[in-house]
Amino acid sequence: MTALETRHLVKRFGGFTATHDVSLSIRKGARHALIGPNGAGKTTLINLFTGVFAPTSGQILLDGEDITTLPAHARVARGLSRTFQINQLFGDFTPLDSMMLAIGERKGHGRRFWRPLAADRDVAEEAVATLEQFGLADAMSNETKLLPYGKQRLLEIALAIAAKPKVLLLDEPAAGVPEEEREEVLAIVRALPEDVTVVLIEHDMDLVFSFADRISVLAAGALFAEGTVEEIARNPQVKAIYLGE
Ligand code: ADP
């Protein structure tokens, strides 16, 4: 019942250990938050999960399968998806274009770029339906770069979901979103499909505590504490190192 697992994961950059013997187990369907102060190693861990970095030692398992040495695209194909960073969205494309590409890629059309995707009615219909589900229907024909920031963040999540992931790595979904757009983004995050395991990397403790069912705390590259929201909230060491109390 484990969706994503690491075993004694280590990542060194030269003499510096950014990930220190991390053994983490994220169960299927979990809403699992990964927190820790700046420099704790959260981004490094995500890059190890997705295959951006190769670990120095240790293992990563997705759905029980060892994916430690698989390239990034093979991990995506096996159901590991992360939100795109904003600067990776095609700014001149419309959300509909991007969504049709994402869905076309999943359906194996990715290497036939020259074929007009609009000709694939099933792709177009699914793209529109997915955009509607994420509240992006009104914006789907505008250039992405002209959309309000909150809508761009929603598009990142929608594109990641279009890959039909088993595990979704959500990297600070509401970061930088203006207050008036924030609730819309959070509502979508809370309404993500239950069968998708969500790993949330987040600084905003209100969001972590309202969203997560389990929390892992990283500090100086190591797993410092892990538990339910209640356990972490009352852990005095976590408060001391992380919450600054
Ligand atoms: P977080 O996301 O929790 O803020 P990071 O994973 O970005 O932490 O960074 C953890 C530590 O690893 C930091 O001290 C950072 O300087 C270091 N680090 C991250 N990536 C590299 C890299 N490519 N080369 C050298 N050091 C790195």
Quote the CA–CA distance of 118 and 81 in Å, as a whole number. Answer: 25
Q: What does the pLDDT read at residue 17?
A: 97
ipTM, 2 dp: 0.97
- Distance, in Å, from the CA atom of 71 to the CA atom of 188, rounded to the nearest integer, reads 30
Q: What pLDDT does 175 receive?
A: 87
3-state secondary structure (DSSP) of residue 2: strand
| Band of pLDDT at residue 55, cut at 50, 70 and 90 | very high
Q: Which CATH superfamily is domain 1-79+165-245 in?
A: P-loop containing nucleotide triphosphate hydrolases (3.40.50.300)
**pLDDT (0 to 100) of residue 119:** 61
Q: How far is the CA of 39 from the centre of ligand 1 (A)?
A: 6
User: Is the four-CA dihedral 216, 217, 219, 225 of positive or negative sign?
Assistant: negative
The residue contributing the CA closest to ligand 1 atom 12 is 18
Whole-number Å distance, alpha carbon 106 to ligand 1 midpoint, is 31
Per-domain boundaries in the chain: 1-79+165-245, 89-163
Say if CB 203 and CB 36 are below 8 A apart.
no
User: What is the rounded CA–CA span in Å between residue 203 and residue 37?
Assistant: 8
pLDDT digits (tens, 9 = 90+) for 193-232: 999 999 999 888 888 988 999 999 999 999 999 999 999 9
| pLDDT, tens only, 107-118 | 876 555 555 555
Sign for the pseudo-dihedral over CA of 206, 207, 209, 214: negative
Q: Work out whether the CA dihedral 129, 134, 140, 145 comes out positive or negative.
A: negative
Segment 229-245, tens digit of pLDDT: 999 989 998 888 765 54
Could you tell me the two tokens for 95? 């959300």
Q: How many CB atoms lie within 10 A of CB 245?
A: 8
Among 11, 34, 43, name the best residue to mutate to test ligand 1's pocket (greatest count of ligand atoms within 8 A of Cβ): 43
Q: CA–CA distance from 173 to each of 2, 137, 184, 223, 241 (Å)? A: 24, 20, 11, 23, 24
Residues 6+ apart with CB under 8 A from 76: 163, 165
Ligand 1 centroid vs 197 CA: distance in angstroms? 25
H/E element, 17: strand 16-27
> How far is the centre of ligand 1, averaged over its atoms, from the C-alpha of 16 (Å)?
9
pTM above 0.80, yes or no: yes
Share of the chain above pLDDT 70, in %: 91
Protein residue with least CA distance to atom 23, ligand 1: 13
Query: Please, what's the largest Cα pairwise distance for the chain?
Result: 59
Q: Is the per-residue pLDDT at 50 higher than 70?
A: yes
pLDDT digits (tens, 9 = 90+) for 27-39: 999 999 999 988 9
Measured from the CA of 37, which atom of ligand 1 is nearest?
Answer: 3
Q: What is the pLDDT of residues 89-129, one digit of tens each?
A: 678 889 999 999 888 888 876 555 555 555 678 888 999 99
CB contact set of 87 (below 8 Å; sequence gap of 6+): none
Which residue's C-alpha comes closest to atom 6 of ligand 1?
41
Decide if 197 contacts 4 (C-beta within 8 A): yes
Based on C-alpha coordinates, what's the Rg of the chain?
18
Closest CA to 163 of 78, 67, 90, 94: 78
The C-alpha atoms of residue 78 and residue 166 are separated, in whole angstroms, by 8
